[in-house]
Structure 1
């Protein structure tokens, strides 16, 4: 007889016989009915079931909980006794909108106030700023063994200044996390903070991590000027770039193929392509300002904010407790008087665009097994995330394909969503996204507490801020699902769905 062939599920070897007699009486390990999918890798803690050597013998059992399964479904745990086996490693894969024991759970989420450009937070370095919400999480969970954190993932879009040496790890050290805790910084431009959470969620779901910290930071006030070296020895030709936002060190091939429109110019392109009027943009911006002002007045935003203390040369430290950017006294007449500096005869203004801001946000995440092990209570669950590419000159429409992808991935529909946090990079792109998705301009689920036009848009932080705001809003309204979505420079969109638990 030929030697047995070995296949592997995670780290456990499993053997099956190629014998034709056996193959005709029971399914192979990858066998599935046409409408059923099976996990190919086991990232959980229970051992795989021990296969029977012939169809006449007993059905195999999970070696952890000793429960047996039918011949038709024998390459999975039956979960008939979930009190004994909390690891559904061999179950048929559920839909992503159904909770499983491999979930990525949100334990806590906090953020700093968002500062205006050159405002209250402009004296705080990006690494110090990122450490503030991390410190807050440590203080809020003193019972947790912080050495158990498997990784810290932060988004940051600049990384050319004080945030240049892996700001995630620098911030974790500054926050007082143990030396054993690693950290990494990722860059998907405006979507960096949301992508950081999505990357952490993947690690938790596949079993590579049990506890994670994720979030984002940006200090646009402190973004440096940069200058490249000459291509020739001792050359004197040099060009200086402001790294606050937009293109620098442009690739000529990229410019020829896709253009290098500035972010406001891409918003003008979207407004023209999708027929978004100046009046509609200003009305959208006004609603954002008024909703943010109302949320501040009733203390809603304060629930997700950790105050920032800024030492002064003389006297006591200055405490920043509220977002600086909202302008609750804005009127439609004021917005209508603003010029359109980005394109002659255009419609995008400083009033219907997001701000240039500073801020940081952090979330404590865990999978179900780690949450039980450390006695952590989950507030939410990351259901799924998707990203999509679009034409760079129309980058603002990116949330549309990304949202459609994540809805298809999770098996949900727009009607299932109770909260929608759409990052308002520009009113033009926000309105285009809503209309393309078939939503009303003033859908009551969208940005109930204002969006980036009012609150501000610190690039690397904004995605994490969306999730934090959405979680708190679900808790306040007793909703179940929230969508967080945003456009990304150079032509992408990103979307995530979370669930309140």
Structure 2
């Protein structure tokens, strides 16, 4: 199997729902980082074999195709949108790498796009003429309602089961915001769009502020609050995934080689723990001790979920989310996994050759995805 390389990685800023991107359609969000990775590498648009994006809220259609066309890619370049909820952006990169490894493609743009602000309203058709449409917020993620919990409630259950106190969750969230403020992404990472070139949500979060918040779910000891739940957000990210032949032809500097990647299923009633098995499988298969991970980007949909994953995988503290995580940025569901990969790419640029990086994310329904890469 051929090796696959991440040659360039760009994203928009992350803006909370109803914020700076409230009037920006999903395809406009997605087009911006696509244009940027083309410009960064100098690869001809005609040389792109495919575009694969994750998305969860668009409401049907194929937003990857819209974004590709809006970005100026030729009509002959196909595009594919996948929906594995929060895992979609990282899974898109995995699919791109598999296309490269199989010999089916030489250059694929992969990533994710999500707009909570412009997502369509959802309703089920009535069964009878005298019934009204039934609005709903999210689809089912399992066939069994008793194993398909609300995500906030699931995070509170996870916190209690794993003994992750509210105090520890608060400390984790405070640290995420602090790291985001101390190590903000630069212009090499974020593509300006709609006048925005920085993540809008990071703030000087304090223990006093966290203590005043009532639990959204769970009890006083282990409950989750607005500080320990990532906000709904709008963003897009794109990475150029290429073969070794292509990256050498483009004379790229410091690409990341994808060492391995895997998707795993877990208990749908405890979805936040699924990335543990995925990451453990990768590390064991590659005979890599967790202590060797120089850079780790672990999704922070909830502080409790992130803590459980970090503890379960054994991620070294100094390597974790060095520029903050989802609690500080926000959670644009279908794009979050690709934003992890973009962050990983840029953080790995300062590491020595041979350093190992990990990206891991959970999704509703008990899904977990993880990717290992080296510089």
Please tell me whether the aligned partners of residues 273 and 308 of structure 2 are also in contact (alpha carbons under 8 angstroms): yes
2 CA distance for matches of 1:250 and 1:384?
Answer: 27
Bigger shift: residues 451-460 or 404-413: 404-413
2 CA distance for matches of 1:250 and 1:473?
Answer: 33
After superposition, where does 1:142-291 map in structure 2 within 5 Å?
Answer: 142=42, 144-160=43-59, 164-232=60-128, 234-242=129-137, 247-248=138-139, 253-256=143-146, 258=147, 260-291=148-179
Structure 1 unaligned segments of length 5 or more: list them.
Answer: 1-42, 44-101, 311-318
Q: Post-superposition shift, 1:239?
A: 1.1
Please tell me whether the aligned partners of residues 269 and 393 of structure 1 are also in contact (alpha carbons under 8 angstroms): no
Residue 15 of structure 2 aligns to a residue whose secondary structure is coil
The answer to whether structure 1 residue 447 and structure 2 residue 321 are counterparts is yes
The answer to whether structure 1 residue 122 and structure 2 residue 22 are counterparts is yes
Bigger shift: residues 175-184 or 410-419: 410-419
Q: Post-superposition shift, 1:374?
A: 4.7
Residue 154 of structure 2 aligns to a residue whose secondary structure is helix
Residue matched to 1:456: 330
After superposition, where does 1:35-184 map in structure 2 within 5 Å?
Answer: 102-142=2-42, 144-160=43-59, 164-184=60-80
Shift of the 137–153 alpha-carbon distance from structure 1 to 2, 3 Å rule, reads: same
After superposition, where does 1:393-404 map in structure 2 within 5 Å?
Answer: 393-404=269-280
The answer to whether structure 1 residue 304 and structure 2 residue 179 are counterparts is no
2 CA distance for matches of 1:157 and 1:268?
Answer: 23
Larger relative contact order (Cα-Cα within 8 Å, sequence gap ≥ 6): 2
The two structures have a TM-score, normalised by structure 2, of 0.95
Q: Post-superposition shift, 1:386?
A: 1.1
Aligned length: 373
Shift of the 235–122 alpha-carbon distance from structure 1 to 2, 3 Å rule, reads: same
Q: Deviations over 1:152-205 (max 9, x none)?
A: 000111221xxx320111110000011111100011100100000000001101
Q: Post-superposition shift, 1:275?
A: 0.5
Residue 122 of structure 1 aligns to a residue whose secondary structure is coil
Q: Post-superposition shift, 1:370?
A: 2.5
Q: 2:340 aligns with which of 435, 455, 466?
A: 466
Residue matched to 1:334: 209
After superposition, where does 1:398-413 map in structure 2 within 5 Å?
Answer: 398-413=274-289
Bigger shift: residues 203-212 or 475-484: 475-484
Residue 470 of structure 1 aligns to a residue whose secondary structure is helix
Q: Post-superposition shift, 1:334?
A: 0.4
Q: Deviations over 1:42-70 (max 9, x none)?
A: x7xxxxxxxxxxxxxxxxxxxxxxxxxxx
Structure 2 unaligned segments of length 5 or more: list them.
Answer: none
2 CA distance for matches of 1:248 and 1:464?
Answer: 22
Please tell me whether the aligned partners of residues 38 and 44 of structure 2 are also in contact (alpha carbons under 8 angstroms): no
Q: Deviations over 1:201-249 (max 9, x none)?
A: 01101101111100101001222211111223x242431123xxxx336
The two structures have a TM-score, normalised by structure 1, of 0.72
2 CA distance for matches of 1:387 and 1:137?
Answer: 26
Shift of the 294–250 alpha-carbon distance from structure 1 to 2, 3 Å rule, reads: closer
The answer to whether structure 1 residue 421 and structure 2 residue 320 are counterparts is no
Q: Post-superposition shift, 1:439?
A: 4.7
Shift of the 397–249 alpha-carbon distance from structure 1 to 2, 3 Å rule, reads: closer
